[in-house]
Amino acid sequence: MNKLLDLAKKRKSIRNYKEDDNIELEKILYALRVALEAPSGRNCQPWQFLIIRDKETKKIIRSICEAAEKEFHMKINNEFKEWLKKRGITWRKTFLTEAPYLILVYSNKECPYSIQSTWIAIGYLILALEEQGLASLTYTPSKTIEINKALNIPKKYRLETIIPIGYPAKEKEKEPRMKPSEKIFIDEWGKPLKQ
């Protein structure tokens, strides 16, 4: 049985959540403990996780993000607009208030390879959430400074992502993946692994 492969295949980004679901904080803490085991440059462990469950704080985060998203959506090209439209993605970020929990993931700018290391931890985190039966999304807000100001985040931390966590409000298809032969070469660039 390929447990990790099965989990990775099952995991998908969820943008609509059931509200007020009784999710045990323990499940989220378990996933965070997994993330804390990630490797990092010089073992600096540059990540910092801020769990938000307070409804008012979620509202503040959503309103800052949506203001920035409105601007962002006006600037994007038609190809990207089409991609977003197909997936029902607009400037509205309802998941920021619907999801019972948000995790804001920060990297410490003073650490070496802080962004790379933090994203490895994020990868661990979203798979561990999947293992706990919890859905998530790696939302990357475009204006993070205002969020950090509102939440009194020290200047040395960079907001990498906001992860809503909860149960999906509706089912959705997994986005397709390219074939392993397109992505994995062996011995020579462009030479696919034949199995």
Using CB under 6 A, list all residues that contact ligand FMN: 12-13, 15, 89, 137-140, 174-175
Amino acid at 157: Y
CB closer to ligand FMN out of 24 and 83: 83
State the Cα angle at 104 between 98 and 109, rounded to 5°: 160
CB of 12 to ligand FMN, least distance (A): 3
Closer by beta carbon to ligand FMN, 154 or else 176: 176
CB of 142 to ligand FMN, least distance (A): 8
DSSP string, 20-86: T----HHHHHHHHHHHTTS--GGG---EEEEEE--HHHHHHHHHHHHHHHHHHHHHS-HHHHHHHHH
* Dist. CA 84–CA 130, nearest whole Å: 24
Q: Which amino acid is at 139?
A: Y
Q: Give the nearest distance from C-beta 13 to ligand FMN in angstroms.
A: 3
* Nearer CB in complex with ligand FMN: 35/137: 137
Minimal distance in Å, beta carbon 25 to ligand FMN? 24
Name the residue nearer to ligand FMN (CB basis): 9 or 191: 9
**Cα–Cα distance measured from residue 100 to residue 22, given in angstroms and rounded to the nearest whole number:** 8
Nearer to ligand FMN, 142 or 181 (CB): 142
Compute the least distance from the CB of residue 128 to ligand FMN, in Å.
15
- What DSSP character marks residue 177? -
